[in-house]
Structure 1
Amino acid sequence: MRQPGSSFDSTAHKRPSRGLSAARLGAVSLAASLLLVTACGGSDDDGSDAAAGTPTDTTSVLGPLDKATGTPVRIGLISDDKGPVSDLAIETAVAKATVTYINEHKGGIAGHPIELVVCKAFADPAVGTDCANQMVEEDVTAVLVGSSSVPEAIWEPLHGAHMPVLLAYAAGAPTRDTESTFAMADTTYVLQALLQLAKSEGAKKVTAVAIDVPATRIAWTQLAPAQFKAANIELEFIPIPPGTADMTPQMQPVANGDADIVHVVGNDAFCIAAFKGLQTGGYTGTVLSHPNCLSDRTRSAVSGDFLEGMVLPGLVPIGHDNPSTRLYEAVVAAYGKDIDTHRVAGLNMFSQVTAFELGADGVTGEVTQQAIITAFKTMPEKDLPGATGLKFRCNGKAVPATPAICTRGWLMTTLDGEGQPTGYKPVGVTPIEG
């Protein structure tokens, strides 16, 4: 039986009207903003305030038509949507637009159009589990899980049913599965970026200020301590409940302390409060921000003096013009409605859905669960969509200790005086062996 509050729908996508204004058909200069990256969302809207764009030739960016005409393949999407921790409604909007693009221009999967089956978990473990059970009952062919705060609650029933699953991020047990689980990244890639920065700067102490949700607690209480101890770097973890508007009391001791680097992870509202608290306390050391922290709202609320020089790791180059971001902008302009391309959650979902299509590209004949699993495990190394400079391969060798992870390395940038990225550099990227 479905849990009260869960939301479930099945949508077979038809090609929408192309009667869009020239402004909506144009390319937008992206700005840094969100992603889970461990699980938390960004702005409080679902993509209203979409940026106006300007590429003039959207058709050439999208490529020629290659319509899928076979029997639809039902693919599940589980997203937190608007939950108590984050607003990730943009994920479903972007996923629907991207699926329409794949069906219209990429031939779907083995010639079969994708029919997206959506369930909203609302960042609630019980509802997330219910969504997973519904996907099993609906007998979908595979499930995509967005940047959820409750990934393991979603994953366990799917794994028990041997369902192929592509997670946006994973930690713990899902990362070790060699059967049917694939993940775009380990939630701890930001932790690795922080540890590398601390080593390069000769830091003796790092303080992590994190939104208090299950995914961050796993990262900072179970995974991080041993790694920082091995590097002889003191680690302080400060969990703060979601919705804390004034963090001055918590940040004053941090600012007055001896932390060489402060890492902040949460959605933009959470991070704004943390940044303001650090600034009020007079903190002048290095700040490494989670990608979720940065949005236009952050830039408006926090002074450029504090944002300048802030270090930002990520998996997608939000705020940086490149072929992948131009394709994303063209897709949402052509097939979406009121999608704010300034939010990293949207670009992350675009990257995940297009990566799923690339991973399933080896399927021939009937599109079954096992055919999807086999295609992913035998795929060659490919460029990670939406993430210029990164590659992915799901053969279990990208990160051998966590064989479900498909991506090796991350992107790194620093912010300028307006809180904008100054350019992304791939870090830790080497070929993923066959």
Structure 2
Amino acid sequence: MSLAVLVFGAACGSDDDTPGPANTNADTDVLGPVNAASGEPVKIGYVSDGTTPVYDGSAQLEVADATVAYLNARHAGIGGRPIELVKCETQADPSKAAECAFQMISDGVVAVAVAESGVVDDVWRSLADANIPAMFYGSGNPDLLADRESTFVLGDPTYSVLQLPISLAAKLGVHKVTSVVIDVPAALHTAQDVAPKAFADAGLDYQLVTVPPGTADMTPQMQNIAEGDTGLVFVIGNDTFCISAFNGLRAVGYEGKISAIAQCVTDATRKGVPAETLDGMVVGTTVPTGGTDPSNVVYRAVIDGYGDGLDDADALVGRGTYVTLAGLLAPLAGMSGEISPQTVASSLHSMPETELPGTAGLRYRCNGKAYPENPAVCVRGGLSTTLDGDGQPTEFEVLGSTPIGD
């Protein structure tokens, strides 16, 4: 992302306003009974990129307000005390991200939630040095994932490119996965260095096909795939790359199963790939973005009841915010006694395995045992959805998730 130069005081600040009453169209049956917090507020930080030169994520901040208002009104905040949200926008600028972290420390927050951000690492370093507990929507930074003291991550770093195709191959009963991967270093490390052993350990044959970015016609590469025993074709790249891969598979008459990472399927993909190719494709995702799943119904009720005029597009942008904030705060609802960074971290480390709010049944536990080599990770597996003829998600299913033991 491009970097914006904005005044620090305009980027960071504390939201001291007491949330107003829920809107009258809230579904109270879904939201549960009123259980209002009272007493001295507890400060919780929230960091978002907000508005950047290339991306408007301002709705995330509004969803954060709605989430906290809901938890204060219906779940008695933290230990019965109201949550006071301290918000900061990074504008996707590394220096402002570091400033946000220092703002959280100086404001005396007891924990911080960081949803989708392009500058996660710059927020994390200072918070970790200060031992401020921080819940992240996701990260691939090995140093961040290795922190077992005060860092918590709600995304399985292996899911989208490893656990998804492995779990799907097992479900389909196939014995080989062919990965079509964009030829850039960020994608190739896992595909070349990590995937072969992971697939072998799962009893699967693995074939890697790398294609340079910008390749408009992938027919030659796809021809070689179609002529072999493919089993499952799994595509990793951006939407432009994936469109070429999908259309190449169609051109050579491939009729097997196709799967892909979520970044492959956008409105451009829906316009550029025939419906019959997208229909039935399995795509990985982090949150359910529609349908009647109970977690989606609750989320919509929170937005309708406590969001100040948030529309469907805003709600979609803010879904990761809801998951991250609710994922941080839900295990803290029953705290008693002193509420400090140390007691919050202890409560998160000792929480039982439970359903992660807003994720259609994905479970989490932050005891460092989900992936011992990455003790900050709280989740195993992720979600998948099968696309319909319009390239839209249908029902959501948890894949790659196993119980996280003691």
TM-score of the pair, normalised by structure 1: 0.77
1:207 to 177, 180, 184: 180
Query: Separation in 2 of the partners of 1:112 and 1:104?
Result: 11
2:150 to 152, 157, 180: 180
Asked if 2 retains the 8 angstrom alpha-carbon contact of 1:66 and 1:107, the reply is: yes
1:10 is aligned to 2:11: no
Query: Separation in 1 of the partners of 2:315 and 2:27?
Result: 21
**What SS class does the counterpart of residue 92 from structure 1 fall into?**
helix
Structure 2 gaps of 5+ residues are: none
Q: Which amino acid aligns with 1:289?
A: A
Asked if 2 retains the 8 angstrom alpha-carbon contact of 1:80 and 1:121, the reply is: yes
1:146 is aligned to 2:121: no
**What SS class does the counterpart of residue 136 from structure 2 fall into?**
strand
1:363 is aligned to 2:335: yes
Query: Separation in 1 of the partners of 2:148 and 2:215?
Result: 45
Structure 1 pair 223–124 and aligned structure 2 pair: CA distance change class (3 A): farther
Which segments of structure 1 move beyond 6 Å, counting only runs of 4 or more?
none
Structure 1 gaps of 5+ residues are: 26-56, 241-246
Q: Which amino acid aligns with 2:127?
A: L
Greater Cα offset, 194-203 or 157-166: 194-203
* Residue matched to 1:305: 276
Deviations 1:239-276 (A, max 9, x none): 85xxxxxx4537566545538524245xxxx52x3343
Structure 1 pair 18–136 and aligned structure 2 pair: CA distance change class (3 A): closer
Query: Separation in 1 of the partners of 2:80 and 2:266?
Result: 38
1:388 is aligned to 2:355: no
Q: Which amino acid aligns with 1:63?
A: G
Query: Separation in 1 of the partners of 2:27 and 2:188?
Result: 43
Q: Which amino acid aligns with 1:189?
A: Y
1:335 is aligned to 2:306: yes
The offset of 1:331, in angstroms, is: 0.6
* Residue matched to 1:413: 385
The offset of 1:155, in angstroms, is: 1.2
Query: Separation in 2 of the partners of 1:197 and 1:249?
Result: 28
* Residue matched to 1:54: none
Q: Which amino acid aligns with 2:114?
A: V
Query: Separation in 1 of the partners of 2:249 and 2:207?
Result: 21
5 Å-filtered alignment, 1:122-161, equals 122-161=91-130
1:88 is aligned to 2:57: yes
Query: Separation in 2 of the partners of 1:85 and 1:203?
Result: 40
Query: Separation in 1 of the partners of 2:109 and 2:188?
Result: 32
* Residue matched to 2:85: 116
* Residue matched to 2:244: 277
**What SS class does the counterpart of residue 401 from structure 2 fall into?**
coil
Query: Separation in 2 of the partners of 1:99 and 1:218?
Result: 39
Structure 1 pair 397–85 and aligned structure 2 pair: CA distance change class (3 A): farther
Asked if 1 retains the 8 angstrom alpha-carbon contact of 2:49 and 2:118, the reply is: yes
The offset of 1:363, in angstroms, is: 1.9
Deviations 1:345-377 (A, max 9, x none): 432321221121212134212321111101111
Greater Cα offset, 301-310 or 395-404: 301-310
Deviations 1:65-111 (A, max 9, x none): 22212222221112223446754333222111111111111111112
Asked if 2 retains the 8 angstrom alpha-carbon contact of 1:81 and 1:91, the reply is: yes
Structure 1 pair 15–155 and aligned structure 2 pair: CA distance change class (3 A): closer
Q: Which amino acid aligns with 2:403?
A: P
**What SS class does the counterpart of residue 411 from structure 1 fall into?**
strand
The offset of 1:428, in angstroms, is: 2.7
Percent identity between the two aligned chains? 34
- The two structures, once aligned, show a CA RMSD in angstroms of 3.2
Asked if 1 retains the 8 angstrom alpha-carbon contact of 2:160 and 2:261, the reply is: yes
Asked if 2 retains the 8 angstrom alpha-carbon contact of 1:141 and 1:163, the reply is: yes
Asked if 2 retains the 8 angstrom alpha-carbon contact of 1:299 and 1:419, the reply is: yes
Structure 1 pair 4–108 and aligned structure 2 pair: CA distance change class (3 A): same
* Residue matched to 1:290: 261
Deviations 1:191-250 (A, max 9, x none): 22134446754336312238x797x6775577556646876524355685xxxxxx4537
Q: Which amino acid aligns with 1:310?
A: M
Structure 1 pair 281–428 and aligned structure 2 pair: CA distance change class (3 A): closer
Deviations 1:95-151 (A, max 9, x none): 111111111111111122212222222333333233223322333211111122332
* Residue matched to 2:290: 319
Query: Separation in 1 of the partners of 2:315 and 2:271?
Result: 15
Structure of greater Rg: 2
* Residue matched to 2:397: 425
Query: Separation in 1 of the partners of 2:130 and 2:395?
Result: 43
Query: Separation in 2 of the partners of 1:253 and 1:80?
Result: 41
* Residue matched to 2:208: 235
Structure 1 pair 342–413 and aligned structure 2 pair: CA distance change class (3 A): farther
Q: Which amino acid aligns with 2:157?
A: T
Q: Which amino acid aligns with 2:302?
A: V
Asked if 2 retains the 8 angstrom alpha-carbon contact of 1:248 and 1:281, the reply is: no
Number of residue pairs matched by the alignment? 384
**What SS class does the counterpart of residue 147 from structure 1 fall into?**
coil
